[in-house]
Structure 1
Amino acid sequence: MPPPRFPSLVLRSSLFILASSFLPSAQAVHQKNAGPEEVELKFNLPPPAPLSPEEAKKTFKVEKGFHIELVASEPMIESPVAMSFDAQGRLYVVEMRGYMHDLEGGGEKEPTGRVSLLEDTDGDGRMDKATPFLDNLVMPRAVLAVNGGALIAVPPNLYFCKDTDGDGKADVKDVVATDFGTLGGQPEHMADTPVWAMDNAIWSAGYSTRFKLRSGVWQKDTGLGRGQWGLCQDDFGRLYFNYNSDMLRADLLPTEAFTRNPLLRNATSINAKLAADQTLYPSHPTPGVNRGYDPKSLRADGTLSKPTGTCGALIYRGDAFPAAYRGNAFVPEPCANLVKRFTMREKDGIVKATNTAKTTEFLTSTDERFRPVQAANGPDGALYLVDMYRGIIQHQSFLTHYLIANIEARKLETPFNQGRIWRIVPDSKERPQPVKVSKDVNLLTHANGWVRDTAQRLLVESGDAATVPALKEMLSNESALARLHALWTLDGLAAVTPDLLRPALADKDAQVRAAAVRIASRDLAPDLIALSAEKDALVLANLAIKLTSFNLPDADAAVAKLLASDGKNTLIREGALTGMRGREAAFAKLLVGQLTKENGAQIMPVVEALGSLLAQANKAGPFEEMLDLAAAQPQGGAVQVAAIKGLASSSSDPKSKMPAKLLWLNAEPASLKTLKAAMTDKSSAKLFANVAARLAWPGKPGAPPPPKIVPLNEAQTALFEKGKTIYATLCAACHQPHGFGLDGLAPPLVDSEWVLGKPEILTRIVLNGLAGPVKVSGRNFNLAMPPLPQLTDEDIAGVLTYIRREWEHTGSPVETKAVKTVREQSKGRMAMWSEEELKNLGKKTSSK
């Protein structure tokens, strides 16, 4: 479905009736998600009538001091799911008109979607002109005004579209990416919401590639797949997102840094949960949610108590609201027909969100078809809402029997062709006026964050060197936000020099200093190393990220000194760990060299974290190096305990039931005897036993026979090398060069039971694809791998041989003729494989 998992459907409060009627259950489509077949409609309400925009407006209750205004509605737009303002205040709106015409998902394969360009030609605040900018689309889902046109997502493609003749319709349609979702894929689990962030990169929710526009060319770079439906940034460029049941998360440190170390999956600096209290207060009963049969979902009065369909969160950065609202988070929950407001606070780089609601919300509606799916800042400083306006919001793939019964009983399948854009403004006498943005450096000082962002984008897009002097002058502006935008704009124009950055590294504002550290190149390594007087945690965390990326002895020594003072700080520690992949043991040795009686509490968390990374890496050599380091420390001391505790944690997922990989050494390490004698108390002895159990060597009592590694012959080696090239060009974008994959996009290949299992299973996956859910290395992934039938038999044999022998794998090679055989067996198959099908291949099925 459009927005993130919209798992619910809400029932009208004015007719709240308690009943106990059992209905025969309709057939839920997704059997693993279907819930109980016998459903009880406790709140048996009559079918509600769809409301006109004027009628719907009367159902809203907005926080005191504000009111809601209509910007656009049907028939001008239908089923809107996303929007983006261009620099002139025109509005691109994505209309997913094929979404859920009935309970079977009818309409989704039809090219009925479009992106419309809306204009307010008379300046009254209401859109009065609509042009089909791009039409005849199958389930479009995202748009971003950029470079005089727009990026538009129509899975599996992301297009750049532009109107060059002034008629409002796109006559340029260039492919930017071909993996932005899957054609016919699950709409709740695909990339969406591209955002031009302060770092001049375009990030998207649920998508691991970021884009940069340089001299008119779209450049691709790695990022991290984050969130489900919706993405935004705050005044400092931090990315915020959400999941269906978690209203607000953020990356507290630069997202791209964590791509360097894929084992930092559980880092708390990224994908950080911000709101402890997410209690909801709908203004009417909402029993028609997908899990309404579960007593934990609804209160006794029938209202939803926790989020189930969150999407499109926004950090408000406008200038129309009172100052107390700047930086607040506004989060739509379409299943509860409301928008929640969180106040934000930050301390030492850690951001927390506080639920402002006590018994009500910032905005609620008693109209169950009010479906806010995106909140956005506008050129007038107001807060805008995309309202999909419909009865069915949950996609058919996840409908439960309970929700189907509610939909049928209350006749909520239709209408599906309505939709509104709303604006929330304060109760002032004058309506705020929109700002038209140009390549004016002075607009970087504007109070409206949307204006500043747009001005920065236009300046970077222009590549105009003539603006550089004014931008340099802006670096001395009294506004820290203006200085911050000027610095990033100069970076986007490739106009940053060491002489320009040095003053920024000493700026009085910590956010400016942190940005200067992020932007600094290797040429400034001596200046960064010399930042010994820095005290701000956020700046120090960025400094740790930058210095460890240099891989220079002096830089590493500076980081060791930094961690010896601040290793307990989560941001600083995790920032440093981003650059230590492959040299954990060496850095632990360097860090231990800094140990004193006074700084042990700072150093030990880092030693433990380094040991944990080594335990997850499953590499025998570095693991043994850490053991040797621990054995060389004072017996029973803190370093030994921290190192062994880290090495004893074999998985990044504490819930994983997968046994730890056995690490083979050439001989029993002497360090084991030393450590066994030192680890005498019950807790330490248990940790040591876990570590020792992971190690094996020839002749170890109870150890299995060592693995037999058959060398590749000349032909197989040639296949391996060919597969290496194919992997780098075709597979590494998702599964990554290191093979550990990307959360939210691609599962790991390293030590995967699928990779090291039967080669014919792998071959089938490459030929026909694999649709989730699927369990890999003890973790569940609900993703889709597209088929790659364009690869030749030799290509497939090569890439499979590569992944079965790379990363210390010892799997057998895959022969070309074996691939050919499987291709013949799969001839005519069009559907992707499922995990269950692949596991049952060759098994006889019994019939009763």
Structure 2
Amino acid sequence: MPPPQRFPSLLRRSSLVLLASSFLPVAFAVHQKNAGPEKVELKFKLPPPAPLSPEDEMKTFKVEKGFHVELVASEPMIESPVAMSFDDQGRLYVVEMRGYMHDLEGGGEKEATGRVSLLEDTDGDGRMDKATPFLDNLVMPRAVLAVNGGALVAVPPNLYFCKDTDGDGKADVKDVVASDYGTLGGQPEHMANTPVWAMDNAIWSAGYATRFKLRGGMWQKDSGLGRGQWGLCQDNYGRLYFNYNSDMLRADLLPTEAFTRNPLLRNATSINAKVAADQTLYPSHPTPGVNRGYDPKSLRADGTLSKPTGTCGALIYRGDAFPAAYRGNAFVPEPCANLVKRFTMSEADGVVKATNTARSAEFLTSTDERFRPVEATNGPDGALYLVDMYRGIIQHQSFLTHYLIANIKDRKLETPFNQGRIWRIVPDSKERLQPVKAAKDVKLLSHANGWVRDTTQRLIVESGDASTVPALKELLATGTPLARLHALWTLDGLASATPDLLRSALADKDAQVRAAAVRISGRDLAPDLIALTAEKDALVLAHLSIKLSSLNLPDADTALAKLLASHGKIALVREGALTGLRGREAAFAKLLAAQLSKNNTAQITPVIEALGALLAAANKAGPFEDMLELAAAQPQGGTVQVAAIKGLATAGGDPKSKVPAKLLWLDAEPASLKKLKAAMTDKTSAKLFTSVEARIAWPGKPGAPPPPKIVPLNEAQTALFEKGKTIYATLCAACHQPHGFGLDGLAPPLVDSEWVLGKPEITARIVMQGLAGPVKVGGRSFNLAMPPLPQLSDEDIAGVLTYIRREWEHTASPVDAKTVTGIRAQSKSHMAMWTEEELKNLGKKPSTK
């Protein structure tokens, strides 16, 4: 698979002429592993295009009938814009990545030339006429979110809260909210971006696994799941949408924070769900200059890009200016094809689907190859706004191919790099749209414009104003479904969602309100949640299964088993239940099997299989054996028995992994094996049984290796283990998690990791100097940067290594401080972060080839 292309490059104007092939030798390509062929073929020989003025660029746009494009801002007011955010007064914060790609070597990226500008329309004509450098002299800023009277600004590795307190438009407060929001000097397309205040009153980001909450003026951190590459948005119900360079739209159908409770639930369809099946593109002109343009699968015969390669900044349109048919649609920028695609959205049983509306044309296209839409957003006037980076090169130098470099040089596309525009798409009308200023006015939660509702909710929650509670209660009782939903979440943000209010919301006529009420309810409402047996809506049932499994109460587990016995075939309901069952899989499987009847086998079977798969991934011998006993107790050859064995046969939960599954040692041969072997006689079942039997061993099993020898820790080693445990909880658990299974998109697992259980001189170096770039752990790839921990002494490092090598049923040898001291001396000249290749080649002589 080729590497990601966040801002991949260069597109062609409609006057292209297909010429005889010409070959250009290229001296270099930065990304050597995926640089493509060195001898490149430029099938479309094009004249160097002249940069266009905003007025001339506007003439190149083709937008769906009934709409037109208006200019909001352009250079020299802004340069190289990549992100924007409206504040409650309609002012616009714009991130200008002015250091990005001044040349093919990435010149400019280390210079403090970036800024966040605050734009204002002082005369009310719809065009920004005043720009103030809100925050200046920044190195490659990435993102901004208007919040709390100021803005969150991402300048890797920091996320700052900045505020202007004296009214001059310039930030005079700059507080660090997080220091792991990306990496200084890292690749722009692989770092945290696009913070969004979502309906749940938490701030989520793309490519970042921590969410923030503002409470009483203080920033609180909480774990989520890192997902998406560039861009994040929400729909009317708070579902989060994002994308990847070659996948235009994905969504979390259920709350991602629930899935952090079960790190082994990695293949869930409820999160990171692919919602757009058909992503065919229809550019309005040939676009052969994309990074992989040399690959015949990338382009059509006419030179147009057929599939996305640089998707970013998607938006669910929630304004009130567009016709009704467009509301709730997804609008997705694809800068490589100079277009914005529109998807219509539909939902059934909580599952969202995006349908490609294009048949030969897109919602918005341009024949100007420098039109680079990188973010779309809703505006206070109900219009759709676009950030246009406007430049020739958008592919980061880390991923340039020989082919693309040849295109850039041949067509003189390195400059200019200091232009940029903000556009507004509006429906044709004689009257100009007027922006709405949000306020702490509960009535605005009923506004037709989603931006107004969101901003109003944020302002009320930020203020903590208890005087709004009576009006919010009234709205919760009498408002429209969307207004009731906002009222409920606003009350929750004010810590005023009382049990009585939640009981009423649990019986609301609208399923989204009921689902939110389930999500907000605490343990004090356990009896009310357990009593929701008559619920029929799949989305509410999914939220209910999440909540019941999280309670870890006998009555709740019984209710959950009954719920799954009726609705276990529904993926969202099943996966919701699995989020809270880590460590209880076998016990719950027994409880669920007790519900088995002639009429519900089809509902129970997929849940049993899923529980077995989780146990296979957990690599714990005791629970694995418990599931074998449960399987043996089922009707011989029956579907539930086969499902249990099929789940246990999933080779550790990751079918793509080439790493052999961990051998699980039992005290003796389980009595269940003979019974299962006799029962599973058909070819398919017998194969599954053989796979499961190969996972376990016991003393004396024919062909089994010798049992592992576990040497107990002595007193000094035990003290070192305990010290390491404390340090791990303080410094490491936020990313790798207390359970050691890590966080997808942020930190790889430590449990059963070949890195942790391998040579300590490798893990010691990672702790000392850090690790950067892609790394494979357990057969899965992680693209990350672990910073060094220079504050740790040799004894501290020895303690952490001893802890992770003996925790989680690990049996590796402890590490002493003297060993770490020796490793430090050996690697003292290594100043940069290590790479996977360097660590794997430690001690090897360099190749002479």
2:344 is equivalent to residue 343 of structure 1: yes
The Cα of 1:821 is off from its aligned counterpart by 1.4
The Cα of 1:250 is off from its aligned counterpart by 0.2
> Contact 2:770 / 2:788 at 8 angstroms: preserved in 1?
yes
Q: How does 1:5-154 map to 2 (within 5 A)?
A: 5-154=6-155
Secondary structure at the residue paired with 1:689?
A: helix
- Partner Cα separation in structure 2 for residue 768 and residue 19 of structure 1: 52
The Cα of 1:827 is off from its aligned counterpart by 1.5
Which residue identity lines up with residue 246 of structure 2 in the other structure?
Answer: S
Q: Structure 1: which 5+ runs fail to align?
A: none
Secondary structure at the residue paired with 2:598?
A: coil
> Contact 2:616 / 2:653 at 8 angstroms: preserved in 1?
no
The equivalent of 1:466 in structure 2 is: 467
> Contact 2:609 / 2:646 at 8 angstroms: preserved in 1?
yes
> Contact 2:5 / 2:309 at 8 angstroms: preserved in 1?
no
> Contact 2:381 / 2:435 at 8 angstroms: preserved in 1?
yes
> Contact 2:229 / 2:245 at 8 angstroms: preserved in 1?
yes
The equivalent of 2:805 in structure 1 is: 804
Q: How does 1:306-345 map to 2 (within 5 A)?
A: 306-345=307-346
The Cα of 1:477 is off from its aligned counterpart by 2.4
What per-residue deviation string (whole Å, max 9, x for no partner) do you get for residues 802-840 of structure 1?
111111111111111111111122213221111111111
The equivalent of 1:653 in structure 2 is: 654
> Contact 2:376 / 2:386 at 8 angstroms: preserved in 1?
yes
What per-residue deviation string (whole Å, max 9, x for no partner) do you get for residues 47-69 of structure 1?
11111101100000000000000
The Cα of 1:846 is off from its aligned counterpart by 3.8
The Cα of 1:4 is off from its aligned counterpart by 6.8
Q: How does 1:377-396 map to 2 (within 5 A)?
A: 377-396=378-397
Secondary structure at the residue paired with 2:539?
A: helix
- Partner Cα separation in structure 2 for residue 407 and residue 652 of structure 1: 45
The equivalent of 2:374 in structure 1 is: 373
Secondary structure at the residue paired with 2:454?
A: helix
The equivalent of 1:435 in structure 2 is: 436
Which residue identity lines up with residue 766 of structure 1 in the other structure?
Answer: V
The Cα of 1:847 is off from its aligned counterpart by 2.2
The equivalent of 1:248 in structure 2 is: 249
- Partner Cα separation in structure 2 for residue 149 and residue 499 of structure 1: 35
Secondary structure at the residue paired with 1:525?
A: helix
Equivalent pairs: percent with the same residue? 87
The Cα of 1:388 is off from its aligned counterpart by 0.5
2:270 is equivalent to residue 269 of structure 1: yes
The Cα of 1:35 is off from its aligned counterpart by 0.8
> Contact 2:618 / 2:652 at 8 angstroms: preserved in 1?
no
> Contact 2:619 / 2:652 at 8 angstroms: preserved in 1?
no
2:677 is equivalent to residue 640 of structure 1: no
- Partner Cα separation in structure 2 for residue 264 and residue 296 of structure 1: 34
- Partner Cα separation in structure 1 for residue 138 and residue 228 of structure 2: 25
- Partner Cα separation in structure 1 for residue 821 and residue 440 of structure 2: 58
- Partner Cα separation in structure 2 for residue 87 and residue 652 of structure 1: 47
The equivalent of 2:841 in structure 1 is: 840
> Contact 1:6 / 1:393 at 8 angstroms: preserved in 2?
yes
The Cα of 1:651 is off from its aligned counterpart by 3.3
The equivalent of 1:170 in structure 2 is: 171
- Partner Cα separation in structure 1 for residue 570 and residue 447 of structure 2: 35
The equivalent of 1:227 in structure 2 is: 228
Secondary structure at the residue paired with 1:687?
A: helix
Which residue identity lines up with residue 500 of structure 1 in the other structure?
Answer: L
Secondary structure at the residue paired with 2:20?
A: strand
The equivalent of 1:237 in structure 2 is: 238
What per-residue deviation string (whole Å, max 9, x for no partner) do you get for residues 377-406 of structure 1?
000000000001111101000001100111
> Contact 2:329 / 2:344 at 8 angstroms: preserved in 1?
yes
Secondary structure at the residue paired with 1:54?
A: helix
> Contact 1:4 / 1:311 at 8 angstroms: preserved in 2?
no
Q: How does 1:668-817 map to 2 (within 5 A)?
A: 668-817=669-818
- Is the alpha carbon distance of 1:4 and 1:129 closer, same or farther for their aligned partners in structure 2, counting shifts above 3 Å? farther
The equivalent of 1:399 in structure 2 is: 400
The equivalent of 2:364 in structure 1 is: 363
Which residue identity lines up with residue 673 of structure 1 in the other structure?
Answer: K
- Partner Cα separation in structure 2 for residue 730 and residue 667 of structure 1: 40
Secondary structure at the residue paired with 2:55?
A: helix
The Cα of 1:233 is off from its aligned counterpart by 0.2
> Contact 2:5 / 2:399 at 8 angstroms: preserved in 1?
no
Which stretch of structure 1 is more off in the superposition, 525-534 or 819-828?
Answer: 819-828
The Cα of 1:711 is off from its aligned counterpart by 1.0
What per-residue deviation string (whole Å, max 9, x for no partner) do you get for residues 711-770 of structure 1?
111111111111111111211111111111111111111111111110000011111111
The equivalent of 2:618 in structure 1 is: 617
Which stretch of structure 1 is more off in the superposition, 294-303 or 642-651?
Answer: 642-651
Which stretch of structure 1 is more off in the superposition, 722-731 or 582-591?
Answer: 722-731
The equivalent of 2:533 in structure 1 is: 532
The Cα of 1:610 is off from its aligned counterpart by 0.2
Q: How does 1:434-453 map to 2 (within 5 A)?
A: 434-453=435-454
The Cα of 1:13 is off from its aligned counterpart by 2.3
The equivalent of 1:476 in structure 2 is: 477
> Contact 2:5 / 2:291 at 8 angstroms: preserved in 1?
no
Secondary structure at the residue paired with 1:335?
A: helix
Which residue identity lines up with residue 584 of structure 1 in the other structure?
Answer: E
The Cα of 1:11 is off from its aligned counterpart by 2.1
> Contact 1:8 / 1:308 at 8 angstroms: preserved in 2?
no
The Cα of 1:633 is off from its aligned counterpart by 1.4
Secondary structure at the residue paired with 2:825?
A: helix
Secondary structure at the residue paired with 2:404?
A: helix
Secondary structure at the residue paired with 2:478?
A: coil
> Contact 1:89 / 1:436 at 8 angstroms: preserved in 2?
yes
Secondary structure at the residue paired with 2:762?
A: helix
The Cα of 1:113 is off from its aligned counterpart by 0.5
What per-residue deviation string (whole Å, max 9, x for no partner) do you get for residues 470-514 of structure 1?
101111224100000000000000001111111100100000000
Which residue identity lines up with residue 761 of structure 1 in the other structure?
Answer: I
Over aligned residues, Cα RMSD in angstroms?
A: 0.9
Which residue identity lines up with residue 208 of structure 1 in the other structure?
Answer: A
Secondary structure at the residue paired with 1:473?
A: helix
- Partner Cα separation in structure 2 for residue 237 and residue 557 of structure 1: 30
The equivalent of 1:541 in structure 2 is: 542
> Contact 1:4 / 1:189 at 8 angstroms: preserved in 2?
no
Secondary structure at the residue paired with 2:604?
A: helix
The Cα of 1:19 is off from its aligned counterpart by 2.7
> Contact 2:231 / 2:313 at 8 angstroms: preserved in 1?
yes
The equivalent of 1:515 in structure 2 is: 516
The equivalent of 2:198 in structure 1 is: 197
- Partner Cα separation in structure 1 for residue 531 and residue 5 of structure 2: 46
The equivalent of 2:602 in structure 1 is: 601
- Partner Cα separation in structure 2 for residue 220 and residue 393 of structure 1: 33
- Partner Cα separation in structure 1 for residue 475 and residue 9 of structure 2: 49
The Cα of 1:469 is off from its aligned counterpart by 0.6
- Partner Cα separation in structure 2 for residue 456 and residue 286 of structure 1: 43
What per-residue deviation string (whole Å, max 9, x for no partner) do you get for residues 289-316 of structure 1?
0000100000000000000000000000
The Cα of 1:710 is off from its aligned counterpart by 1.1
2:304 is equivalent to residue 298 of structure 1: no
> Contact 2:376 / 2:387 at 8 angstroms: preserved in 1?
yes
What per-residue deviation string (whole Å, max 9, x for no partner) do you get for residues 779-822 of structure 1?
11122211222221111111111111111111111111111111
The equivalent of 1:413 in structure 2 is: 414
Which residue identity lines up with residue 632 of structure 2 in the other structure?
Answer: A
The Cα of 1:654 is off from its aligned counterpart by 2.1
- Partner Cα separation in structure 1 for residue 52 and residue 629 of structure 2: 72
- Partner Cα separation in structure 2 for residue 305 and residue 751 of structure 1: 42
- Partner Cα separation in structure 2 for residue 566 and residue 47 of structure 1: 61
Secondary structure at the residue paired with 2:152?
A: strand
Which residue identity lines up with residue 511 of structure 1 in the other structure?
Answer: Q
Which residue identity lines up with residue 801 of structure 2 in the other structure?
Answer: L
- Partner Cα separation in structure 2 for residue 807 and residue 211 of structure 1: 29
- Is the alpha carbon distance of 1:721 and 1:4 closer, same or farther for their aligned partners in structure 2, counting shifts above 3 Å? farther
Which residue identity lines up with residue 180 of structure 1 in the other structure?
Answer: Y
Secondary structure at the residue paired with 1:795?
A: helix
> Contact 2:652 / 2:662 at 8 angstroms: preserved in 1?
no
- Partner Cα separation in structure 2 for residue 16 and residue 548 of structure 1: 62
